[in-house]
Amino acid sequence: MELDYEKTGLKVGLEIHQQLDTSNKLFCACKPELFKEEPEITFIRRLRPTQSELGQIDPAAYFEFQKGVKILYEANSQTACLVEMDEEPPHPPSMEAVEITLTAALMMNASPVEEIHVMRKTVIDGSNTTGFQRTCVIALNGAVKVGEKTVPIQHVSLEEDAARKTGEEDTLIRYRIDRLGIPLIEVATAPVIKTPKEAGEVALAIGKILRATGRVKRGLGTIRQDLNVSTPNGALTEIKGVQELELIPLVVEYEVQRQLNLIKIRDELKNAGASEEDLQEEIFDVTHVFRQTACKVLRKALEKDQKILAIKLPKFRGLLKRELMPGIRLGTEMADRARFWGRVGGVFHTDELPAYGITVQEIEALRKAVQAQEQDAVVFVADTVENAKDALKAVLERAREALKGVPEETRAANPDGTTRYMRPRPGAARMYPETDIPPIKITEEYVNRVKACLPELPEQKLQRLMRQYGLNQKLAKQLMDSEYTELFETVAGESRVSPTTIAVFLTETIKALKREGIPVEKVSENQIREIFNSLDRCEITKEALPEIVTWLAKNEGKSLKEAMENLGLKTLSIEELEKLIDDVIARNKGLIEKAASKAFGPLMGMVMKEVRGKADAELVSSLIRKKLEKNA
């Protein structure tokens, strides 16, 4: 039965982050591009949290510091300079980026600020060499219309993108700083979204406006959505890094499931008489219980002379295996906390045992060693004493939170729509002024100049696409919902291929290939333009397009010519095609005599199977009909 989200009191707010297509980075003259080669420069840093002006330390920043990691940064001279390395103060902000952000803000009916003040937002997970992200508000109090609903836009901001993580080994994390400093627009809605479906619709509407500027980057990794999800009896959860627009409704749906299931667990614990006083920080050394174990993970730890430590969770038996959302259980959340705070590989708990080579006898001995009652769960971990203790303390803290219901936290989105623990929610001490950049005045004259050049709104563009290119409303809408509207107009303008053929390929064909797991994002826009120009010159057929794109997606960096050679897609001449059709007709005289005009369908299928992308279907159809009429 589908959940009534209105009754649950669901509230969702969106934060859309989209890279801007500028000639330079936000605070320097470097190219806003990513490099694939080996880095020219590397350097190591250790980041530490600092107090705010009020003497407070942000809990999220302190959390990252606790991990004790070092950061290895990789760079090249084209995409990073001393600004990204934090060896030189930032340059004045890119006015090109300011103008694009202001354009989008005005299209969302937001009011520009009188002065732009750049702020520092504490971030010490390693993704910023400075230990903070620079951000500034450009406009406030806008609105977008989504169906019959008006969704308030709280602010439209401009900020720098973070470095990209490229690897991790033990306590060393690798980041490339080519992405660091690329301008990002951030659009934040009020928490007025009431259903998962509506969340997807609002994100799509904002995305259309951003794309309508014609000055945002496209492709995987250029747009990220963060969600703030809350339910009345739950808590505000921030979910970061949803990259696929289609995933947003599913992420919201799963988060509601998670919160409702955590509330059920809280109520069951309360009914069982569980209390915080029972959750004592009593850690037991149970190494002796597993001296002869067949469990490979435990054996490996014992061979390294590590310890196996355990805690009991009174009244928690059976609850650690309770599913909160697909594939995620309360025990999974405890393991996530243990990994982050204790730097361990994971934890074991009695709700999932016997398994992994751990026997019933070992579980009984374990329960006895920690003095566990029948209704208690036991969690244990194998690592160094320090790591194991930190991990179990984190598990204990998560158990205390389970007694209260849903913890406030920041979670990261997984590719399947589920989420995982990322860090505690940031506090108010996270933001403070940037002292290296003076305020920038936004004059009325400047705003009026930008207003005079605003691009057409999505609804206007939809009508124009239908009128100018003869697209039906359904196809025009699909095109607007995709990220290929600008590419469509470019291709339609430089080739004589039917606009409908181009639009169908960029929407339905691309989507179908994605569903089949083809990484179509690896095929560049220039390659797609080249494909349609070849189609225009009759060098390939439209039937061959899916096959060509699939090959190019799986062979990144290869050319269209190489694709055609490898796939054997040399277009047949009229003479070659007529001979092939004559051969098929000759082999199927019996079918033609028996079925008469109804033989066309089977013959068409046979010929198309043989030509396989080497001839246009309309031409094949025309030739077969002519030959059948002649024979008749």
Domains in the chain, ordered, with CATH?
17-190 (no CATH), 276-395 (3.30.1360.30), 458-567 (no CATH), 574-631 (1.10.10)
pLDDT of res. 156: 98
Dihedral (CA of 190, 191, 193, 199) sign: positive
Could you please report the per-residue DSSP string of 193-251? Answer: B-SHHHHHHHHHHHHHHHHHTT-B--STTSEEEEEEEE-TTS--EEEEEE--GGGHHHH
Characterize 585-614 residue by residue with b for buried, 16 or more Cβ atoms within 10 angstroms of its Cβ, and e for exposed: beebeeebeeeeeebeeebbebbbeebebb
pLDDT of res. 616: 66
| CA separation for the pair 371, 354 (Å, rounded) | 19
User: Which residue type does 225 have?
Assistant: Q
Quick count: other Cβ atoms within 10 Å of Cβ 369?
A: 18
- On the question of pLDDT at 354 being above 90, the answer is yes
Phi, psi for residue 134 in degrees, rounded to 5: -85, 135
Tens digits of per-residue pLDDT, 538-564?
Answer: 778 788 899 899 999 999 889 888 888
pLDDT of res. 478: 92
pLDDT of res. 258: 97
Q: Is 386 left (phi over 0), alpha (psi -120 to 50) or beta?
A: alpha
Q: Is 163 left (phi over 0), alpha (psi -120 to 50) or beta?
A: beta
- On the question of pLDDT at 143 being above 90, the answer is yes
- On the question of pLDDT at 164 being above 90, the answer is yes
- On the question of pLDDT at 70 being above 90, the answer is no
- On the question of pLDDT at 198 being above 70, the answer is yes
Average the pLDDT over 124-148 and give the result.
Answer: 92
pLDDT of res. 218: 80
- On the question of pLDDT at 1 being above 60, the answer is no
| CA separation for the pair 302, 296 (Å, rounded) | 10
| CA separation for the pair 465, 21 (Å, rounded) | 23
The three-state secondary structure class of 456 is coil
**CB of 527 closer than 8 Å to CB of 556:** no
Taking each helix axis from N to C terminus, what angle separates 385-404 and 248-271, rounded to the nearest 10 degrees?
A: 90
User: What percent of the chain shows pLDDT beyond 70?
Assistant: 92
**CB of 284 closer than 8 Å to CB of 372:** no
Average the pLDDT over 109-131 and give the result.
Answer: 90
Instruction: Label residue 424 by pLDDT band (50, 70, 90).
Output: confident
- On the question of pLDDT at 221 being above 90, the answer is no
User: Which residue type does 449 have?
Assistant: R
pTM: 0.81
The residues with which 150 forms a beta bridge, in sequence order, are 145
Which one-letter DSSP state was computed for residue 505? I
| CA separation for the pair 237, 10 (Å, rounded) | 12
| CA separation for the pair 461, 159 (Å, rounded) | 28
Tens digits of per-residue pLDDT, 492-528?
Answer: 999 889 999 999 999 999 999 999 999 998 899 999 9
The residues with which 115 forms a beta bridge, in sequence order, are 441
323-325/419-424 β-pairing: unpaired
pLDDT of res. 59: 63
**CB of 222 closer than 8 Å to CB of 216:** yes
Closest CA to 259 of 238, 239, 234: 234
User: Which residue type does 555 have?
Assistant: N
Average the pLDDT over 25-46 and give the result.
Answer: 92
- On the question of pLDDT at 614 being above 70, the answer is no
Q: Please, what is the average pLDDT of the chain?
A: 89
Average the pLDDT over 404-410 and give the result.
Answer: 94
Phi, psi for residue 292 in degrees, rounded to 5: -105, 20
| CA separation for the pair 431, 503 (Å, rounded) | 45
Q: Hey, what are 536's tokens?
A: 């225009």
Tens digits of per-residue pLDDT, 368-393?
Answer: 999 999 999 999 999 999 999 999 99
- On the question of pLDDT at 60 being above 70, the answer is no
Could you please report the per-residue DSSP string of 560-629? Answer: HHHHHHHHT-PPPPHHHHHHHHHHHHHHTHHHHHHHGGGGHHHHHHHHHHHHTTSS-HHHHHHHHHHHHH
11-19/223-230 β-pairing: antiparallel
Average the pLDDT over 221-247 and give the result.
Answer: 91
- On the question of pLDDT at 240 being above 90, the answer is yes
Tens digits of per-residue pLDDT, 72-104?
Answer: 999 999 999 999 999 999 999 999 999 999 999
- On the question of pLDDT at 65 being above 90, the answer is no
